[in-house]
């Protein structure tokens, strides 16, 4: 009798999240051919295609959209059950930094899942912009960190790839102004530096009209028509459009970083929980 295989469902979720077979295979440590074979086997069981292939990668079909929440529930349930059957038994403390703007829903899933499976682990979570996370990891003030970087390091685990693009309000054309009002972060960070250096490179006159400690605040200012801003292309575009006269875009990566001295089962368990949450 045909049945759904949990390994196939993991591969399905990894490919869906990565947007390509190659990217999905890398996330679960399989070869591209092995991942492709598992998807073909899963599609044979389901009886219809789950992915639409195109030049940039893959996207879900209607059948794939229906399967996704079921696959997510099955994988998470199996992982939680395995941890419980193994006895968990983790005790100690973990200090983790998370980028507030890119981790709200994921953070909720991670904390809820981890706390349920490991009630004796004390979690110290720091939600912030992320500019100081790398230094905190080097000094030992943090064990793990999830934040945005312009380029991943050799030991970084990439959770999500994105790009930053110049945005303005749909209802307010600010591009015609001689001096462009700009919304940026209120402290030094690579995202702010990237925005201001990009304007200088484009020889565009500007003034900082709005500052915020979060990307959410910058986005709100842009949506309100107060200023233009450099924003994530993957976030909700409601009320926004690309700024017509500045076409530059910049890559950004959401990564998981670990302190050099942060090893052991607690760190490994949280790293896996983070990976799973961002994968699904």
Are 135 and 258 within one domain? yes
pLDDT at 155 over 80: yes
Q: Which of 52, 85, 118 is the last residue of a domain?
A: 85
Q: Is the pLDDT of residue 116 over 70?
A: yes
Residue 196 included in any domain = yes
Q: Do residues 99 and 134 both lie within one domain? A: yes
**What angle, rounded to 10 degrees, do the helices at 62-85 and 265-279 form?**
160
Residue 238 in any domain: the answer is yes
Domain for residue 105, yes or no? yes
If one compares 144 and 115, the residue with the highest pLDDT of the two is 144
Residue 174 to residue 176: CA distance in whole angstroms: 5
Residues 137 and 264 in one domain: yes
Same domain, 217 and 150: no
* In-domain check, residue 187: yes
Q: 234 and 167, same structural domain?
A: yes
pLDDT score of 104 = 58
193 & 239 share domain: yes
CA distance 36 to 58: 12
Statement to judge: residues 223 and 166 lie in one domain = yes
Contact between residue 146 and residue 274 where contact means Cβ atoms under 8 Å apart: yes
Q: How many CB atoms lie within 10 A of CB 3?
A: 6
pLDDT in tens, 47-102: 999 999 887 789 999 999 999 989 988 887 787 677 667 655 678 889 998 876 65
The pLDDT assigned to 15 comes to: 92
**Where is the domain boundary, 85, 100, 123?**
85
pLDDT digit string (tens) for 169-203?
A: 998 888 889 999 999 988 778 889 999 998 998 88
Q: What is the pTM of this model?
A: 0.67
Q: Which domain holds residue 11?
A: 6-85
The answer to the question of residue 1 being in a domain is no
Domain-ending residue, one of 85, 118, 142: 85
Contact 266, 194 (CB under 8 A): no
CA distance 237 to 184: 18
The domain tally of the chain equals 3
d(CA 183, CA 221): 7
Listed residue (128, 51, 131, 75) closest to 97, CA to CA: 128
Do both 208 and 73 map to the same domain? no
> Looking at the domain assignment, is residue 239 inside a domain?
yes
What pLDDT does 92 receive? 85
Q: Which of 102, 196, 198 minimizes the C-alpha distance to 149?
A: 102
What CATH number does the domain containing 194 carry?
3.40.190.10
pLDDT digits (tens, 9 = 90+) for 20-44: 999 888 888 889 999 999 999 999 9
211-229: per-residue pLDDT in tens?
988 888 899 999 999 999 9
Q: Which CATH number covers residue 44?
A: 1.10.10.10
Same domain flag for 197 and 246: yes
Q: Are residues 15 and 142 in the same domain?
A: no
């Amino acid at each position: 009798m045909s049945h759904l295989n949990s390994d196939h469902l993991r591969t399905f979720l990894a490919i869906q999240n990565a947007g390509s077979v190659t990217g999905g295979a890398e996330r679960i440590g399989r070869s591209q051919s092995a991942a492709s074979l598992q998807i073909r086997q899963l599609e044979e069981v389901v009886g219809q295609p789950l992915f639409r292939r195109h030049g940039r990668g893959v996207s879900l079909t209607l059948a794939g959209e229906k399967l996704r929440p079921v696959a997510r529930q099955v994988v998470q349930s199996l992982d939680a059950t395995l941890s419980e059957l193994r006895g968990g038994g983790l005790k100690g403390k973990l200090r983790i930094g998370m980028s507030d703007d890119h981790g709200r829903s994921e953070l909720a899933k991670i904390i809820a899942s981890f706390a349920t499976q490991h009630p004796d682990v004390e979690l110290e979570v720091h939600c912030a912009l992320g500019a100081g996370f790398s230094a905190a990891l080097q000094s030992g003030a943090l064990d793990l960190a999830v934040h945005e970087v312009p380029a991943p390091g050799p030991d970084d685990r990439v959770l999500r790839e994105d790009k930053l693009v110049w945005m303005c309000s749909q209802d307010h054309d600010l591009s015609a102004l001689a001096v462009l009002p700009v919304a940026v972060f209120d402290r030094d960070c690579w995202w702010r530096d990237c925005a201001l250096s990009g304007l200088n490179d484009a020889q565009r006159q500007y003034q900082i009209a709005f500052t915020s400690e979060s990307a959410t605040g910058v986005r709100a200012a842009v949506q309100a028509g107060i200023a233009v801003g450099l924003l994530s292309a993957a976030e909700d575009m409601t009320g926004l459009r690309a700024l017509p006269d500045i076409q530059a875009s910049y890559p950004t990566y959401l990564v998981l970083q670990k302190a050099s001295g942060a090893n052991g089962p607690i760190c490994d368990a949280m790293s896996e929980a983070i990976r799973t949450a961002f994968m699904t």
